[in-house]
């Protein structure tokens, strides 16, 4: 989108690599998933984090440390609290696949988690604001990370006193009323820029959902549940395919069943035993290739699509936040207009006379009560005009502040969207590259398998002719 362009202070590169299964004794406490560790069983996975930075606020250009998944989760939560107006990249889901199969220490699960954490860190590092966050510097460079986490958790959000905080903290009823009002309210003058962004995000989310459905429909689903690797594939299907209603075609299972059937038929055909066995073996190998393609490419791409949809949801949440700022400004403007109109009406009553309590049944009833109590209407009119003057003056300041906040928020959201778009294009190139590389690798190996099969069959025909 034309307009505000993001600016970076320097470059920050982070690599998540060298995952390691850590063990500890039972008295060390609980494991990462909250289950008490027993004996010397593996309890969690640590990930190597290496960083290179040209940012001026980093004391060292090269950093290396090891982190657990819960450390990445703390970083994500801290960034959400510290930068509520930024699009914070979503963290990969914790309770997925390996947690369902009970094999979260498998090589496939750990490698997929490394890829997801790498994408999470890349999204943070290419953000011009998040890359300068103090908590990110501590995450990458601090050798006393647990102390840094404790200090950051105990640090107050603002420097105001406790009395001021209580004075400015809205009550539960006020918070609920604001939420309800903003939920059902609509901006009267929607900005066409953000309407276009919202429509583009909806279209992209729909496209990602459809693409995810296509991958799930055509992915390899393996029926051999004796293999732990196959159990993980089945768990992946159950986790992702069911919510979006995708049907699964058992392509690899069909090749495997066909191979098994040919092996059985070959035993009955004495003259064709060897060639049929060669065909069966080729089909079995090709079935295994489809399975490995699923584990190495398709499942990874589905996980990326899932992450992309979560990232889109974070962007939509920021648009909702901007819309709430606009609603606040419009609400204050309406309130100011109403009070100004009432002030003008009371001022006009001084020259023409009339009911100071207003028109309608409510005004009539209140005027009748005033007469019963002997209220001086002129004095009441003057006092009410004075109160309205104070309120109008206060509302002028609040409306002006809300207008400035709304304008600043609009410009900030535009810049956030520009950063998001730059990252989305880069990730799209990576996604298509991974899809192309995976298909090229699988079909190249498949071509070699069937070339070998054709050669074996031709040699068998020559031997039979001789």
Helices in 11-68 by DSSP H: which ranges?
none
pTM: 0.74
Angle of helix 299-352 relative to helix 228-244, nearest 10 degrees, comes to 30
State which CATH number among 1.20.1270.60, 2.60.40.10, 3.30.1300.10, 3.20.20.70 fits the domain covering 184-353+378-466: 1.20.1270.60
Neighbour-count burial for 172-187, b at 16+ CB within 10 Å, e otherwise: eeeeeeeeeebeeeee
Do 252 and 219 touch, CB atoms closer than 8 A?
no
Calpha distance 103→96 (Å, rounded): 11
Q: How far is CA 291 from CA 262, 358, 439, in A?
A: 20, 78, 13
Residue 53 pairs in a beta bridge with: 12
Give the Cβ contact number of residue 353 at 10 Å.
10
- pLDDT tens for the 466 residues of the chain, in order: 444 555 555 688 999 999 998 876 544 544 444 444 444 555 889 999 999 988 888 888 889 999 999 999 999 999 999 999 999 999 887 545 444 444 677 887 888 889 899 999 999 999 999 998 999 999 998 888 888 888 877 654 433 333 333 334 444 444 444 544 555 567 888 889 999 999 999 999 999 988 888 887 766 444 444 454 455 555 555 555 544 444 334 677 888 888 989 888 888 877 788 888 899 999 999 988 888 887 778 888 888 898 999 999 999 999 999 999 999 899 899 999 988 988 887 777 755 555 555 555 656 566 666 666 665 666 777 788 888 899 999 999 999 999 999 999 999 999 999 999 999 999 999 999 988 998 899 999 999 999 999 998 888 776 665 5
Q: Which CATH number is 1-154's, of 3.20.10.10, 3.40.50.1820, 3.40.50.720, 3.30.1520.10?
A: 3.30.1520.10
Report d(CA 127, CA 442) in Å as an integer: 35
- The whole-number pLDDT of residue 369 equals 65
CA separation for the pair 281, 273 (Å, rounded) = 12
| Spatial separation of the C-alpha atoms in residues 80 and 68, rounded to whole Å | 19
- Residue 65's H or E segment, with its range, is strand 62-68
Beta-carbon contacts of 140 under 8 Å, excluding residues fewer than 6 positions away, are: 14, 49, 51, 53, 58, 63, 65
Rounded to whole angstroms, the Cα distance separating 362 from 385 reads: 19
Estimate to the nearest angstrom the gap between the alpha carbon of 421 and the chain centroid.
15
Cα separation of 385 and 380, whole Å? 9
Strand order in the sheet with 12-23: 12-23, 42-53, 62-68
Domain boundaries, the chain: 1-154, 184-353+378-466
Instruction: Kindly tell me the sign of the dihedral angle through the C-alpha atoms of 428, 415, 50, 29.
Output: negative
Tell me the C-alpha distance between 200 and 421, whole Å: 11
Q: What is the pLDDT of residue 460?
A: 75
CB of 227 closer than 8 Å to CB of 252 = no
CA distance 359 to 245: 59
Overall size of the chain counted in residues: 466
- Adjacent-strand bridge partners of 47: 67
Cα–Cα distance measured from residue 400 to residue 405, given in angstroms and rounded to the nearest whole number: 9
DSSP-derived letter for residue 298 is: I
Q: Which two tokens stand for residue 411?
A: 């410009």
- For residue range 429-463, list pLDDT tens digits in order: 999 998 899 889 999 999 999 999 999 888 877 66
């Amino acid at each position: 989108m034309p307009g505000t362009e993001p600016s970076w202070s320097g470059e920050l590169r982070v690599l998540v690599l060298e995952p390691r299964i850590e063990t500890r004794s039972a008295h060390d406490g609980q494991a990462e998933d909250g289950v008490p560790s027993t004996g010397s069983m593996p309890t969690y996975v640590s990930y190597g984090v290496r960083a290179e930075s040209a940012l001026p606020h980093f004391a060292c250009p090269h950093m290396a440390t090891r982190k657990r998944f819960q450390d990445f989760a703390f970083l994500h939560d801290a960034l959400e609290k510290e930068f509520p107006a930024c699009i914070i990249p979503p963290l990969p889901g914790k309770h997925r696949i390996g947690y369902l199969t009970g094999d979260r220490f498998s090589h496939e699960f750990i490698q997929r988690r490394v890829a997801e954490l790498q994408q999470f860190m890349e999204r943070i590092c290419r953000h011009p604001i998040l890359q300068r966050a103090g908590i990110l510097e501590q995450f990458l460079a601090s050798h006393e990370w647990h102390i840094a986490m404790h200090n950051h958790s105990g640090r107050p959000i603002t420097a105001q006193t406790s009395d001021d905080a209580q004075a400015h903290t809205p009550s539960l009823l006020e918070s609920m009323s604001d939420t309800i009002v903003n939920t059902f309210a609509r901006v009267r003058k929607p900005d066409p820029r953000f309407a276009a962004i919202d429509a583009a995000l909806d279209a992209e989310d729909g496209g990602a959902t459809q693409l995810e459905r296509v991958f799930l429909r055509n992915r390899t689903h393996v029926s051999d549940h004796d293999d732990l690797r196959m159990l993980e594939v089945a768990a992946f299907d159950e986790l992702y395919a069911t919510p979006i209603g995708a049907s699964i075609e058992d392509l690899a299972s069909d090749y495997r069943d066909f191979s098994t059937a040919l092996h059985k038929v070959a035993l009955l055909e004495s003259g064709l035993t060897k060639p049929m066995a060669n065909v069966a073996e080729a089909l079995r190998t090709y079935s295994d290739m489809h399975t490995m393609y699923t584990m190495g490419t398709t499942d990874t791409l589905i996980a990326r699509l899932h992450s992309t949809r979560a990232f889109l949801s974070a962007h939509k949440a920021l648009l909702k936040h901007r819309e709430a700022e606009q609603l606040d400004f419009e609400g204050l403007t309406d309130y100011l207009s109403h009070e100004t109109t009432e002030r003008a009406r009371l001022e006009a009553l001084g020259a023409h006379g009339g009911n100071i309590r207003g028109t309608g049944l409510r005004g009539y009833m209140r005027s009748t009560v005033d007469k019963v109590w002997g209220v001086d209407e002129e004095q009441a009119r003057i006092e009410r005009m004075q109160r309205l003057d104070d309120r109008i003056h206060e509302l002028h300041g609040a409306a002006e502040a809300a207008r400035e906040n709304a304008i600043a928020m609009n410009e900030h959201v535009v810049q956030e969207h520009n950063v998001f778009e730059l990252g989305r294009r880069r990730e799209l190139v990576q996604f298509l590259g991974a899809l192309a590389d995976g298909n090229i690798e699988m079909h190249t190996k498949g071509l070699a398998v069937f070339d070998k099969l054709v050669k074996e069959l031709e040699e068998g025909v020559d031997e039979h002719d001789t």
